[in-house]
Amino acid sequence: MSEPGPADQLTEERPSTAAPDAAESPSGGSRYAGTRVRRVEDRRLLTGHGSYVDDVTRPGQLHACFVRSPLARARIEGIDAAEALALDGVHAVYTAADLNPAVREAWFTLIGQVEDVPRPPLAEDEVRFVGDPVALVVADDRYIAEDAAELVIVDYAPLPPVVDYKTAAESGELVHAAYPGNVAIELAGLPVESFPVFEEAAYTFRETIYQQAYAAVPIETRGLLAEWEPATGELTVWAATQSPHELRLFCARLLGLDEHRVRVIMRDTGGGFGQKVLPQREDMCVLLAAMRTPGPLKWIEDRRENLLSAGQARHDHADVRVSFDADGTMLATAIDFVQDVGAYPIPYPMNTCVVVGILFPGPYRVAQGTFATKAMFSNTVGRTAYRGPWQFESVAREVLLDIAARGMGVDPAEVRRKNLLRREDLPYTNHNGMPYSDVTPLETFEQALEMVGYDAFRAEQAKAREEGRYIGVGTCTYVEPTTDNLGLHSTEGATIRIEPSGKVNVYMSGGSTGNSLETTAVQLTADALGVDIDDVGTIQGDTAVTPFGGGTGGSRSGSMTAGAVEVTAAILRERIARIAAHKLDAAPGDIEMVRGKAGVRGKRDKEISLAEIAETAYFQTDALPPGVPPGLEASGRYKAEAPVIWANATHLCTCEVDVETGAVKLLRYIVSEDCGPMINPTVVEGQIAGGAVQGIGGALLEHLAYDEDGNPITTTFMDYLLPTSTDVPVIEYGHVETPGPGPGGYKGVGEGGAIGAPPAVVNAVADALAPLGVKLTRLPLTPESLVTAIRNAATPSTGEK
């Protein structure tokens, strides 16, 4: 493959990252894991020297722009590109007839060759949502490409769209002809009628809870630069991706190329949140077109395109039930879950649909229950993964529990305290067959209550109500599956090279998407080899030089990186010990590494630096002990042993609601998290904060809305509202550290914040408005919706106040 130019270099000079509180390990080596090491990538990112796809410029590169459908559903009667092609600087206008036949295979390693939705690169015969890509314009620059795209004339014959997924089955229209009733997938357990408990229990509560569509909205939109070299038969792709090796596999299959002829380079990625795990249809188009263009082809999505076509998430509802005995003990749960997957979901929605049903009992002791789940097509943008893509199970359960508590006349905290899993309950298998272990739901819950001063808050609330103020408190406790040992995500590799100077480079498959994987890899490697952290660098995200791996997704990176580094470092530690023992006339088992020096345990006057060991390994190979190979480089691969590593947390927030305007002000926000021992507490808290803010936005502000004709009405930041620093109080953190079954006891933490925040916020607002008889079952909680709910609660069924 061609060598990267100066812009491709992935290493950098950086100031000391050693934390002032870095402690000594029992063996005497510097220990970095568990300390607040400064992020190694911050100097680059905070000074504006990050390198993103749009920063890459290749000789002779061209630019792509898509012609997109203005209609939610229509037949394509014809496309006239003559005027666009006549524009100076335009090289080509590709339609489905040009690109689609070139597709060899289009499936994702992450989910395998399952039955999947047809996914043409460009719309053929019919467009299925506003923003559906119809043609691809290639020009000298983006400005010309956009001008040309406006000159492409597409003859549409409008068709009735299926806009509301809730009524899609009865609409009489089909998004995809091969899917009767617009059902993408459907799975059901035993019917609710098979469980008499729902009729016989002292209390049974049933609600239908709705969540709106909202989106990942990364700071960096999607982007791709593909460079085809016909002379060598090699393709190099610079991509904003969470999984460079998955993209490489997909490229090879799509184009019919050998994998070793495809190189994917991921540098800095400005957020992914699941949206960038898998290549989408636009990526397919650029890759296919790049095989035809006279120069490298770049496509950078603008913000309107991102909100229009990069994918929706969350849009779902469920009929949910929970039963209790007279003492408030949970007896049974049931969820009938339905989600909107739009026109072209990525990936196939089976997994998240099923996980919502399986996890619905959550971290509670519940003896029995059932679930049903269904995914529906609509003529809207396709569903994509988004931070905790199964999080509706927590939204529905936790909102229902607060409603149930008020219905029983019990404080919501007491209902949870009575039913949450305890240490003595573990391991525990829920009634859907999901086994839990190494979690602390009750402990995180109690810690969050203590941090807020729950009893004191209730006293303050009573006083506030006397004064006409409406304040409330809400919680959400959940368990989250993180690392698993299935498929693409089950293994992770690392290569560690100790250079002749004694400095260390660790090569990892993925790269940071804001989640500090560079810092994680450096911390873990420094500890594993007993060297100073400033002597370790990392190279990530380049498939030509890094080991194969699953990338970022499913909160897997911390645990899998730790496993890969430890497996690989163990090979080098053994080799280092043998060389040092040979030079120091000692037994290999007596050698320890401390701050880059190998010495005899208990005899610090006998030691040798790692640089001296490396010099022997590379340049004095005749002096190596028998059986020790030259060099100090090793590759290893870790396979997760546990089926699932579980994390858990409790989110708690307090708020005040202005009942006249519907404005919600969050007062305090607390997260008690158990992600096992923390590799870097600062990084962990940053991950929690980022997810929590996204969840707060989803509860109060964000809505990827469509009108009744399928037109998106939130395609700019003037309409699609995001939380700002004024909307979120300082987040307070509590930590419970229960080791998981993986290396170092580390668990995942990336997705949890986005799972716990929406139900905690909804419950806080509902608690504030409880004296008014308001019940909240539909998100988002906009000022308008809250004012309406307050008015409706004050209006008797006769319609008179």
pLDDT (mean) for 587-603: 93
pLDDT of residue 798: 45
Q: How confident is the model at residue 210 (pLDDT cuts 50, 70, 90)?
A: very high
User: Position of tokens 């305290």?
Assistant: 417
Tens-digit pLDDT profile for residues 215-224: 999 999 999 9
Examine the pLDDT at 437 and tell me if it is beyond 80.
yes
pLDDT of residue 606: 85
- Asked if the bond preceding 481 is cis, omega within 30° of 0, the reply is no
> Out of 18-22, 320-324, 523-527, which region has the weakest mean confidence (pLDDT)?
18-22
Q: How confident is the model at residue 117 (pLDDT cuts 50, 70, 90)?
A: confident
pLDDT (mean) for 232-237: 98
User: Position of tokens 């305090």?
Assistant: 668
Examine the pLDDT at 20 and tell me if it is beyond 80.
no
CA distance 729 to 664: 12
Examine the pLDDT at 115 and tell me if it is beyond 80.
no
- Asked if the bond preceding 780 is cis, omega within 30° of 0, the reply is yes
Share of the chain above pLDDT 90, in %: 90
Burial label, 299 (beta-carbon count in 10 A; 0-12, 13-18, 19+): buried
pLDDT (mean) for 188-212: 97
Backbone torsions φ then ψ of 362, nearest 5 degrees: 65, -150
Strand order of the β-sheet with 731-735 is 470-484, 644-657, 664-674, 731-735
Examine the pLDDT at 5 and tell me if it is beyond 70.
no
Examine the pLDDT at 55 and tell me if it is beyond 50.
yes
In this structure, what token pair is assigned to residue 310?
């990069």
Tens-digit pLDDT profile for residues 475-511: 999 999 998 887 778 899 999 999 999 999 999 998 8
pLDDT of residue 351: 85
The per-residue pLDDT of the chain, averaged, comes to: 93
CA distances for 492 relative to 547, 552, 555, angstroms = 8, 11, 14
Q: Which of 565, 4, 57, 41 is CA-nearest to residue 265?
A: 4
pLDDT of residue 241: 97
Q: How confident is the model at residue 239 (pLDDT cuts 50, 70, 90)?
A: very high
Examine the pLDDT at 601 and tell me if it is beyond 80.
yes
Q: Which domains does the chain have, with CATH numbers?
A: 54-159+217-309 (3.90.1170.50), 316-378+387-485+642-793 (3.30.365.10), 488-639 (3.30.365.10)
Examine the pLDDT at 13 and tell me if it is beyond 50.
no
pLDDT (mean) for 408-412: 98
CA distance 457 to 452: 7
pLDDT (mean) for 574-595: 95
pLDDT of residue 17: 45
Is the Cβ–Cβ distance between 677 and 741 less than 8 Å?
no
pLDDT top residue among 191 and 112: 191
pLDDT of residue 1: 39
Is the Cβ–Cβ distance between 661 and 720 less than 8 Å?
no
pLDDT of residue 26: 32
DSSP state of 519: H
In this structure, what token pair is assigned to residue 784?
């308008």
Q: How confident is the model at residue 796 (pLDDT cuts 50, 70, 90)?
A: low
pLDDT (mean) for 90-98: 98
DSSP state of 445: H
CA distances for 27 relative to 23, 33, 70, angstroms = 11, 15, 66
CA distance 670 to 780: 21
Q: Partners of 603 in the beta sheet?
A: 600
pLDDT (mean) for 2-21: 36
In this structure, what token pair is assigned to residue 43?
């100097």
Examine the pLDDT at 557 and tell me if it is beyond 50.
yes
Q: How confident is the model at residue 30 (pLDDT cuts 50, 70, 90)?
A: low
Residues 6+ apart with CB under 8 A from 158: 71, 73, 74
pTM over 0.85: yes
Examine the pLDDT at 35 and tell me if it is beyond 80.
yes
- The region, left, alpha or beta by phi > 0 then psi within -120 to 50, assigned to residue 591 is beta
Examine the pLDDT at 554 and tell me if it is beyond 50.
yes
Q: What is the dihedral of CA 32, 38, 44, 47, to 10 degrees?
A: -170
Share of the chain above pLDDT 70, in %: 95
Examine the pLDDT at 16 and tell me if it is beyond 70.
no
Tens-digit pLDDT profile for residues 311-338: 999 999 999 999 999 999 999 999 999 9
Q: How confident is the model at residue 110 (pLDDT cuts 50, 70, 90)?
A: confident
What single letter denotes the amino acid at residue 715?
T
Examine the pLDDT at 6 and tell me if it is beyond 50.
no
Q: How many CB atoms lie within 10 A of CB 353?
A: 25
CA angle 437, 440, 441 (to 5 degrees): 110
Tens-digit pLDDT profile for residues 743-761: 999 999 999 999 999 999 9
Strand order of the β-sheet with 597-600 is 591-594, 597-600, 603-609
Examine the pLDDT at 111 and tell me if it is beyond 80.
no
CA distance 264 to 285: 16
User: Position of tokens 């395998």?
Assistant: 112
Tens-digit pLDDT profile for residues 717-730: 999 999 999 999 99
Render 380-414 in DSSP notation, one character per residue.
SPPBB--SSTTTHHHHHHHHHHHHHHHHHT--HHH
pLDDT of residue 605: 81
What single letter denotes the amino acid at residue 477?
T
Q: How far apart are the first and last CA of the chain?
A: 75
Q: Are strands 316-324 and 297-300 parallel, antiparallel or unpaired?
A: unpaired
pLDDT (mean) for 145-155: 98
